Amino acid sequence: MRTSCYNGILRLVAFLTVCAVIVAGVAMPVASAQSGAGFVTLKTFPAAVTAIGMLDGATPTVVVATQNAGIYSMSGTSTVFRKLPAQLDLMRVTSIAVLEPDQWLVGTDGDGLWLVGGDGTFFDRVTTLDCTRVARIVPDPRDPNALFIPSLCTGLHYSTDRGVTWRTVGKGITSFLVTDVTRMDGDLIAVATQDAGVFVSTSNGTSYVKTPCPIKNVSSLAWSAGIRTLFAAGGSAVAMTTDTGAHWTSLPSPGAVTSLAALPSGAVLAGTAQRGVVRWDVAAKAWRDVAQGAGVTSASTMVCFGTTLLVGGSTGAVVRADLSAPVAAVAPSALDLGSIPVNQARSTAFTITNLGMGTLDWRIENVPGYVEVIPQTGTGNAIVTVRVEGDSLGKGPYQSLLKVVTSGGDQVLALHFSIADAASVLIGLTVGKVAATVGEGAVTLDAAPFIDKASGRTMVPMRFIGEAFGATVTWDAPTRRVFVETKGTANHKPLLMVMTIGSKKATANGQETTLEVAPAIVAGRTFVPLRVISETLGATVTWHADTRAVSIEYMP
């Protein structure tokens, strides 16, 4: 359950073909997929995966522990995981450190630390560690011979001889229930505890100071060097700090978190019990599903070794992603536009994100004629809009599968909606939240509405608010202008509204008008003042101060 990447370990060699063997009368798990782009399911074991260890090099080695179903190893050119003798089968394995292809450290909760030798043929209890409850074994990236052990009985421990001898460290840490440790930059080290939050050392572990982390029961840490941010998780809560613990920000809950991982790209993932693997979207300030990515609906453990990400599932699946190549994460995995009145249009969006390195090329296939996808091809990270015009379809339910073909793995998106009778548009937004409603359908915004501090006015993503009214929104990059155009209905004349980023001057059907707040680009999205735009389009806007929510009603 290691929670961050270490530069000293190289990526896992791509391997694995479908095979099976019988050892000591026990059927071995077999490879379930060839190596390839994106996320690949490597093996499915008989029980939930509790820990994964790995070593790359001339003799690549992977060791997997399962819940009450044994430990399995694969080494060298073999494509088969071999089950170890049964000595450790009933132990609760929490962490594995592969020191050499034939020598590993295995930490347990209740039975202490074990040195496994001879490629799993013998086991010795490490008696120099004065604790039976090992939370994790964490390599120190500064020293290849050094290891940390956060323990749940005697606090933090450190070894400089690859686990032969251990000493208790952590002056200033007021808890003996230590759950995780991660080295940040230089001499900065962060330690998590089960009952006292997070402690940080600025002196290479000589002493630690308690931080004001809002989570007391912290189970996982991850340090993202790319964005210089420390993440802490416990239960269903996640918080982050960008100043090494001085100030913390609580994040939206992604569900019950089992592990955290910081990738070389700077992205931060959370393994969760309910949603599998999710990614923190810095711009949208929201957790995005790594759609079908980890190949597990419930992640029990997640580790990152150099440029290899390994995810263990509660059903026994182990999934790999080679982060030295493009790895596509598409979110969400399903798009539901709800019930669309025949006199309206509805749109939603999904994101394509490269979790790995190199160029991610992509295209959208299997697009029905009644669905508009913008853009349909591209390179790199993208926000793709899916739009349906109700007036071109008959009443009833519709569903289709959109295929996202990428150089970092292919994924499929399910699209669902139905066409209903004509009706007024009812839109619900909340300041600071990406969740919104249009009619009876739930919609996830690309970015959350916010209140402009200078004017006190609510700012909303222009594309969403325009298309919710059935308008076509066009962006002209050279002039930095936004065009909002409606066709006209029985209740409204056709409208062409033109706005310029940074200017309060706008035109509506050629007539000049002054906006309360100038449109602005924030994190790549165009924001406009909600009330003046909505009322120009003929809508009624109601502000609910107690919930910081906005209700908008519009009859096309």
pLDDT tens digits for 178-188?
Answer: 999 999 989 99
* Residue 214, pLDDT score: 98
pLDDT exceeds 80 at position 27: no
**How is domain 425-554 classified at the CATH fold level?**
Copper Amine Oxidase; Chain A, domain 1 (3.30.457)
* Residue 28, pLDDT score: 39
What are the tokens at 364?
Answer: 């959208």
- Kindly indicate the confidence band of residue 56, based on its pLDDT and cuts at 50, 70 and 90: confident
Q: Please, what is the average pLDDT of the chain?
A: 88
Q: Are 174 and 157 in contact (CB under 8 A)?
A: no
pLDDT tens digits for 134-149?
Answer: 999 999 999 999 999 9
pLDDT exceeds 90 at position 119: no
CB atoms within 10 A of CB 540: 12
- CA-to-CA distance for 448 and 38, rounded, in angstroms? 29
Domains of the chain by residue range = 22-324, 331-420, 425-554
What DSSP element (H or E) covers 533?
helix 530-536
* Residue 104, pLDDT score: 95
**Beta-bridge partners for 322:** 308
Q: Are 419 and 396 in contact (CB under 8 A)?
A: yes
pLDDT exceeds 90 at position 291: no
* Residue 34, pLDDT score: 37
Select from 407, 409, 404 the least CA-distant residue to 360. 407
Q: Are 355 and 316 in contact (CB under 8 A)?
A: no
| Contacts (Cβ under 8 Å, ≥6 apart) of 478 | none
What are the tokens at 120?
Answer: 């799993």
pLDDT tens digits for 320-363?
Answer: 999 999 999 998 888 999 888 887 788 888 999 999 999 999 99
Q: How many CA atoms lie within 13 A of 77 on its CB side?
A: 0
Residue range 22-324 forms a domain whose CATH class is mainly beta
- CA-to-CA distance for 477 and 393, rounded, in angstroms? 33
Select from 426, 368, 418 the least CA-distant residue to 397. 418
- CA-to-CA distance for 76 and 56, rounded, in angstroms? 9
Q: Which residues of 218-243 are buried (b: 16+ CB within 10 A; e: fewer)?
A: bbbbbbbeeeebbbbbbeebbbbbee
pLDDT exceeds 80 at position 126: yes
* Residue 260, pLDDT score: 97
**How is domain 331-420 classified at the CATH fold level?**
Immunoglobulin-like (2.60.40)
CB atoms within 10 A of CB 553: 13
pLDDT tens digits for 428-485?
Answer: 999 999 889 887 677 888 889 999 988 899 999 888 887 777 788 888 989 999 998 8
- CA-to-CA distance for 23 and 472, rounded, in angstroms? 64
- CA-to-CA distance for 541 and 326, rounded, in angstroms? 44
